[in-house]
């Protein structure tokens, strides 16, 4: 295949001609992403008959657009009401919600939208030019390397626990224990299920996320009249209509390099089959804080704390499709549904597709580029109107949140049990918030715990129980060095700054 400008321009024109399915898919995806529990995979399953009657190029353009916009939409409730739409947006509330409480919801949404669109766009364009190269990344990242990558995300427990380290660690360990419920990774024997068959597949992440974040937050809302502070209300009343959106765009473009390198984190994580947006978001947030000149501002409404996870989890979208398009191996549940549609239309994925039908894999990624271009003009004007949600009195907002989120807890598996489980986690989250424990640390443990155990046990089985296998990989050892540096560097930098300040005061 000759990779020329004419080839790229023809792909772009073909993708642009699919606007009549891309634009509706963007709208549907934003709505789906904004409703906690209704992810793109569930939605594509519902819409599967529709995608099967379309030709394969149009069907893929529709599914890709819905996938990308749902990823962006998940950040909307995370910022406005402290409720991530999906697990991939679980790191967004760390700084998004504090900005909303200050009356800066419109600015926070704008930051999120710009980071999502640019992060996804950058990763998609890079994927087009580096598709054969990126397809090999999965060969070099095995269980050992993935254990270290997960540990990068797990160190966020220490980051979010800066106020009270002991309580943060207790919350994190509790989350890890909850994540261990279900079958073990050797004999698939059930653990700590208490006889509930619904827990034999493990604790559903959506139910835990909705309970710990959404329902507990709704219960806290009943204790106040508004989620926005009095100072925040004054700010929202005095700001001009589009001023906050313009400020948000400027702030995002001023930090363009931050968006670029965190989007590449998402792309790298997405390329590895089995990894996903939650891992990318947590790792990007942790790395963003590590290399920041003002790490103490994270968790208080810092712009970079929104840009990092949102650009990373949108960088995952193109990365997760690369194993699918090049090897026929779906990188996640959404990609698996796309594989069904592709196979239905008689296309065989694998290395030979670059010889037989090169326009197909490159066309899918080009459709993603066009989608993100459309999303910029579609979503930015809505930030102004969406931000008004924060002014709704909590007496109306709290019941609405509980109602919608319980439906979201039911949707993935359609078990009434999951709705009850979400309520249980809601009470746990409420008690944790009232007693000073970090619910975000609980959620990090619940999400990353099963992944770490899975890859760790797989590595031990391959090495016949020898724990030194964790240091047997060159790439893994390099990652270990970076992990140690990420843990040691912050206190050393803090000590150095304090010593410098003490000398300056003498």
Sequence-separated (6 or more) residues with CB below 8 Å from residue 316: 71, 88, 266, 267, 269, 270, 276, 277, 280
Q: Which residues of the chain have pLDDT under 50?
A: none
Q: Is the overall model pTM greater than 0.85, yes or no?
A: no
User: Cα 22 from chain centroid?
Assistant: 22
pLDDT of residue 500: 73
Reference 483, options 44, 156, 219; nearest CA is 156
pLDDT of residue 187: 78
pLDDT of residue 275: 64
pLDDT of residue 490: 66
User: Cα 324 from chain centroid?
Assistant: 20
Reference 493, options 335, 296, 355; nearest CA is 296
Strand residues in 11-134 grouped as ranges (E): none
pLDDT of residue 3: 65
pLDDT of residue 122: 92
Which contacts qualify for 394-400: CB closer than 8 Å, 24 or more apart?
394/221, 394/222, 394/224, 394/225, 394/226, 394/227, 395/222, 395/225, 397/81, 397/218, 397/221, 397/227, 398/218, 398/219, 398/221, 398/222, 399/218
Q: Which two three-digit tokens encode residue 116?
A: 């999502």
Tokens 């699919």 belong to 18
Sequence-separated (6 or more) residues with CB below 8 Å from residue 307: 111, 115, 252, 255, 258, 259, 262, 288
Q: Which two three-digit tokens encode residue 312?
A: 């990373």
């Amino acid at each position: 295949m000759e990779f020329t400008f004419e080839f790229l321009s023809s792909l772009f024109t073909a993708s642009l001609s699919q606007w009549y399915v891309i634009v509706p898919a963007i709208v549907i995806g934003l709505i789906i992403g904004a409703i906690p529990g209704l992810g793109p995979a569930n939605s594509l399953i519902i819409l599967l008959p529709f995608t099967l009657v379309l030709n394969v190029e149009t069907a893929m353009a529709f599914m890709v657009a819905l996938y990308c916009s749902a990823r962006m939409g998940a950040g909307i409730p995370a910022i406005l009401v402290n409720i991530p739409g999906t697990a991939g947006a679980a790191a967004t509330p760390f700084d998004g919600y504090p900005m909303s409480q200050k009356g800066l919801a419109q600015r926070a949404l704008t930051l999120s939208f710009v980071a999502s669109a640019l992060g996804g766009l950058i990763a998609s364009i890079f994927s087009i030019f580096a598709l054969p190269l990126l397809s090999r990344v999965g060969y070099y990242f095995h269980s050992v390397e993935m254990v270290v990558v997960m540990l990068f995300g797990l160190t966020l427990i220490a980051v979010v626990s800066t106020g009270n380290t002991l309580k943060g660690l207790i919350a994190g360990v509790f989350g890890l224990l909850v994540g261990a419920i279900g079958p073990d990774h050797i004999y698939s024997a059930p653990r700590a299920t208490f006889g509930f068959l619904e827990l034999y597949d493990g604790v559903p992440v959506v139910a835990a996320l909705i309970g710990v974040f959404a329902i507990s937050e709704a219960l806290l809302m009943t204790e106040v009249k508004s989620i926005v502070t009095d100072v925040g209300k004054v700010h929202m009343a005095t700001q001009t209509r589009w001023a906050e959106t313009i400020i948000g765009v400027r702030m995002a473009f001023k930090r363009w390099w931050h968006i670029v390198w965190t989007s590449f984190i998402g792309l790298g994580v997405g390329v590895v089959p089995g990894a996903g947006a939650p891992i990318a978001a947590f790792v990007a947030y942790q790395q963003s804080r590590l290399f920041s000149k003002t790490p103490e501002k994270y968790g208080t409404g810092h712009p970079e704390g929104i840009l990092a996870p949102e650009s990373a989890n949108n960088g995952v979208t193109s990365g997760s499709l690369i194993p699918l398009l090049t090897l026929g191996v779906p990188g996640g549940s959404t990609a698996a549904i796309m594989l069904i549609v592709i196979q239905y239309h008689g296309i065989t994925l694998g290395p030979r597709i670059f010889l037989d039908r090169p326009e197909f894999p490159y066309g899918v990624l080009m459709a993603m580029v066009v989608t993100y271009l459309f999303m910029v003009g579609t979503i930015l004007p809505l930030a102004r109107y969406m931000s008004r949600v924060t002014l709704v009195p909590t007496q109306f907002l709290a019941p609405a949140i509980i109602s919608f989120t319980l439906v979201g807890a039911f949707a993935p598996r359609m078990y009434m049990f999951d709705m009850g489980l979400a309520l249980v986690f809601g009470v746990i989250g409420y008690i944790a918030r009232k007693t000073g424990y970090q619910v975000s640390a609980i959620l990090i443990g619940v999400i990353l715990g099963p992944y770490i155990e899975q890859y760790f046990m797989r590595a031990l089985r391959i090495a016949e129980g020898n724990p030194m296998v964790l240091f047997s990989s060159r790439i893994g050892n390099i990652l270990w060095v970076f992990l140690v540096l990420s843990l040691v560097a912050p206190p050393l930098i803090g000590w150095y700054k304090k010593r410098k300040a003490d000398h300056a005061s003498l």
